[in-house]
Structure 1
Amino acid sequence: MTVRENVDLRQLRAFHPLNRLSDDQLVVLINRAERRVSRPGQKILERGARDGMDFFLLKGAVELTAGDGRQTTVTAGSEQAMNAIARLQPRMFDVTAVQPCQFLVIEQSVLNNLLRSAPLEHSDDKAGEDMDTDEDHRLLMEFYAELKSNQVSLPSMPDVAWKVRRLADREDSSVEDIGKAITADPAMSAKLVRACNSALYRGYSEVRNVHDAVVRLGGRTTRQLVTVFAMREVFRSRHPELQKAMDELWREARTVGALAYVLAESATRVAPEEALLAGLLHNIGAVPVLVHAEHHPALLASPAELRRAMAELQSDIGAAILETWRFPDTFVEAARHGDDWFYECAKDKPQLVDLVIVSRLHARISADQNEGLPEFEQVPAYRRLGALELSASRSLKLLSAARERLDQLQDLLSPR
């Protein structure tokens, strides 16, 4: 049924991005919206669907089920419920009511039109959260609207990485098959041979060709390393200013990946190369945001707002990219929750997401970006790396002792 005076404007202001709308716009939204009620056990949204609607949870609780079976409960009024439920489309979750629920349902096109003309300020905004100029505000609202409407393309996995991953996953693939796929890309061939002769993988004799490199490394490690080396090509832009931002993203990814490798090698059963790749991919969701920003030249003049957009969107977009690329669920989890200091994985043993969270925290500390960081003992991922018995000081000492290893990894990932 249609919602009118039944909905309190103050309740709507708790939701993002509804808190950017004026009172008059909220009244328009209420009159264009619909309130739906659902009983426990009723499916609200279906994974993979494109319905063009935003569902805001007013009352009750829902359960989100991902493709890997992982489940998350979201309760009305909680921080997780402050955005539209499972807002990216196609839907990444099945959503089922676990309590009697009420939703405010609004067409995305209607909301996007309202956001494009939203005012710069309203009384409920927190100090310092408004943009500096009306133009900045309008640009960012338009940018969000286009992203939410799926007018943004996800990057494709580099061809050589895709071929090698598919071959390595097949039981009937031979070393020759994998080697042939790699040698078709001379630059990748050189990188793999160099890696095989580096201090990380060096054997008793020098490797001189791709075939011998694949034999020494094995199919699994070869697959991960080829993907690692290919990822640099994803962080590219034709716009010089955006390329600077891409380079900064890659430097951050490289640091987090190297730290994750060392932590995995030190005290977990996670393959170090998998941890390295998960670290490199943790911020890949920011890449489409930057690419899309090429269509908004004026937005480039507001680096702070562009960073804000990347921070808000990269987790969901990153998870969508890795699902599209058919990465294992552990990688998708690391991309989706790697920027959540307080996320606690449901698995018993340490997972990639734990290594990414801890590595990101160390990367921030190393860069003297301590503002807003939690205490070490408040981060569940630290507790889950039990064999390390980590504290702030022990963790820093471990990484200091592994400085040479970190330098080797950084060198391996540097341009050649």
Structure 2
Amino acid sequence: MKAIKSLFGKVSGKSPAPLGTQPITTETLRQLFPIRNLSEEILQTFAAENHVETYSAGRTLFSVNEPSTCAIFLLDGTVVLADQHGKGYEISAGSAQAKFPICSGAKQTATATAKTDISILRVSLKIMLTSGRFDHGKLDVPEDLQGNRLLSLFADHFQHHHHELEIPSLPEVAIKLRQAIQKDVNIDDAVKIIQLDPAISAKLIEVANCPLYLTTVPAKNCKDAVIRIGLNATRSLVTALSIKQIFKSKSPLLKTYLEDLWKQSLYLSSLCHVLASHSQQQNPEDALLAGLTCDIGVIPFLSFVADLPLEYHNETEIEQAIPVVRAPVGAVVLKEWDFADEFIQAAKHSSDWFHASGDTLTLTDIVVLSRLHALIGKKANADLPAISAIPAAAKLKTFSLSPENTLAILHDAKAKIQEALNTFIT
């Protein structure tokens, strides 16, 4: 009972007085993310209490920049949300966005006003911690995928034959450069290491001259590129550039999946770089590397699939399994590569829209915002929350987000992103 009160109990702070309250059913709770992840016992106990609040049209639920005291779900009616510049958008009950909270961050990123009479559910912000929990040694198969034989096989392999997992090797130039920088190597010595791989050296110069870096004087050689970008940023970029080798395979089965994964990872990493550059709260090159590696866990899974007889899997099972395996396996790969914990966390939580990581904008937040932006652009009617409603959005200091412009800064940087993609692809 204490756990239930912790998740659904009274929320602190002032809230407008409702017209009334009414019961909620477990059927309704099962439609809401991430509440649906809770046990049936907790859902039934909560549903037995009157927790739904009703408000008349015109009522303001919260205002932009106010501290957030709870997560709010819209169960009936329509709410208008307006950012600090007055740009508004609507969320209606029953829509894909209404399956998620209309607010869940540490502060409000919009002002919410009831357009019609509405019903809402308020819960503690702790509810957001119910998603994204997993054990490194275990891969949980969702109930609706219990019949996926391929996923069950891999989950058993991941748990009981962890040491046999086929983890790709990080390219040698990336390892040497990282080790050297950890020993406070100077620029000249770093350049010597990079030039051991002429292809990486040439690509680094090309990246340093791409539109992501505002400059009037082009970098003519590897040393110019390193000076412009900086040693630590160069380390991240060299790792990112060399990782392309890992996304290659002679297996016909793997080739198509890996090519698609590489393109998706490149696009995500470019969004991360631009968002980090504009927010100035995270290093852009680190953000790029986090975006590029957050789905790296798919590669060992595909290698496992390629070793199985063809009758043990099909395309549907593979596509169903990928979203389940990429986070826990990705964390294992990056840990094996001795990546810093911030990159491991980004891999673990890159699809966890409501991941709570304190008040400071992290690499995970950058990746989550970028991934959600990319998905909203491709899947307009998918089960995705409003981008301004997730906790990461509340941590941006220099600009605000709204679904109408869906990260307008990233749209404005389309040309830069495309040119950066071309640099990495060719």
TM-score by length of 2: 0.64
Q: CA shift at 1:366, angstroms?
A: 2.0
Q: In the superposition, relative to structure 1, how do residues 206 and 299 fare at CA in structure 2: closer, same or farther (>3 Å)?
A: farther
> How far apart, CA to CA, are the structure 1 residues paired with 2:327 and 2:170?
18
> How far apart, CA to CA, are the structure 2 residues paired with 1:316 and 1:300?
22
Q: In the superposition, relative to structure 1, how do residues 376 and 178 fare at CA in structure 2: closer, same or farther (>3 Å)?
A: same
Q: In the superposition, relative to structure 1, how do residues 371 and 297 fare at CA in structure 2: closer, same or farther (>3 Å)?
A: farther
Note if contact 2:272-2:367 (Cα within 8 Å) is conserved in structure 1: yes
* 1:344 is the counterpart of 2:393: no
Note if contact 1:316-1:336 (Cα within 8 Å) is conserved in structure 2: yes
**Residues 158-307 of structure 1: matches in 2 within 5 Å?**
158-171=171-184, 173-201=185-213, 203-298=215-310, 302-307=314-319
> How far apart, CA to CA, are the structure 2 residues paired with 1:88 and 1:369?
35
Q: What's 2:365 paired with?
A: 354
* 1:411 is the counterpart of 2:418: no
Q: What's 1:379 paired with?
A: 390
Q: Secondary structure at the match of 1:88?
A: coil
Q: Secondary structure at the match of 2:392?
A: helix
> How far apart, CA to CA, are the structure 2 residues paired with 1:410 and 1:299?
37
> How far apart, CA to CA, are the structure 1 residues paired with 2:155 and 2:393?
34
Q: What's 2:137 paired with?
A: 88
> How far apart, CA to CA, are the structure 2 residues paired with 1:226 and 1:291?
25
Q: In the superposition, relative to structure 1, how do residues 176 and 142 fare at CA in structure 2: closer, same or farther (>3 Å)?
A: same
Please, which of 146, 155, 170 is the counterpart of residue 157 of structure 1?
170
* Aligned partner letter, 1:269: Q
Note if contact 1:364-1:370 (Cα within 8 Å) is conserved in structure 2: no
Instruction: Specify every segment of 5 or more residues in structure 1 that has no aligned partner in the other structure, as ranges.
Output: 1-15, 17-73, 90-107, 116-124, 132-136
Note if contact 1:342-1:378 (Cα within 8 Å) is conserved in structure 2: no
> How far apart, CA to CA, are the structure 2 residues paired with 1:287 and 1:391?
34
Tell me how large the CA RMSD over aligned residues is: 2.9
Percent of aligned pairs with the same amino acid: 32
Note if contact 1:282-1:338 (Cα within 8 Å) is conserved in structure 2: yes
> How far apart, CA to CA, are the structure 2 residues paired with 1:351 and 1:299?
43
> How far apart, CA to CA, are the structure 1 residues paired with 2:313 and 2:150?
11
Q: CA shift at 1:216, angstroms?
A: 2.7
Residue-by-residue CA offset, 1:301-340 (whole Å, 9 max, x unaligned): 5122112222111111111221222222211111111111
Instruction: Specify every segment of 5 or more residues in structure 2 that has no aligned partner in the other structure, as ranges.
Output: 1-36, 38-125
Q: In the superposition, relative to structure 1, how do residues 185 and 379 fare at CA in structure 2: closer, same or farther (>3 Å)?
A: same
Q: In the superposition, relative to structure 1, how do residues 188 and 396 fare at CA in structure 2: closer, same or farther (>3 Å)?
A: same
TM-score by length of 1: 0.65
**Residues 87-166 of structure 1: matches in 2 within 5 Å?**
87-88=136-137, 129=145, 131=147, 137-149=148-160, 150=162, 151-166=164-179
* Aligned partner letter, 2:165: V
Note if contact 1:253-1:281 (Cα within 8 Å) is conserved in structure 2: yes
Q: Secondary structure at the match of 2:272?
A: helix
Instruction: Point out which structure has higher relative CO (alpha carbons under 8 A, 6+ apart).
Output: 2
Q: In the superposition, relative to structure 1, how do residues 181 and 378 fare at CA in structure 2: closer, same or farther (>3 Å)?
A: same
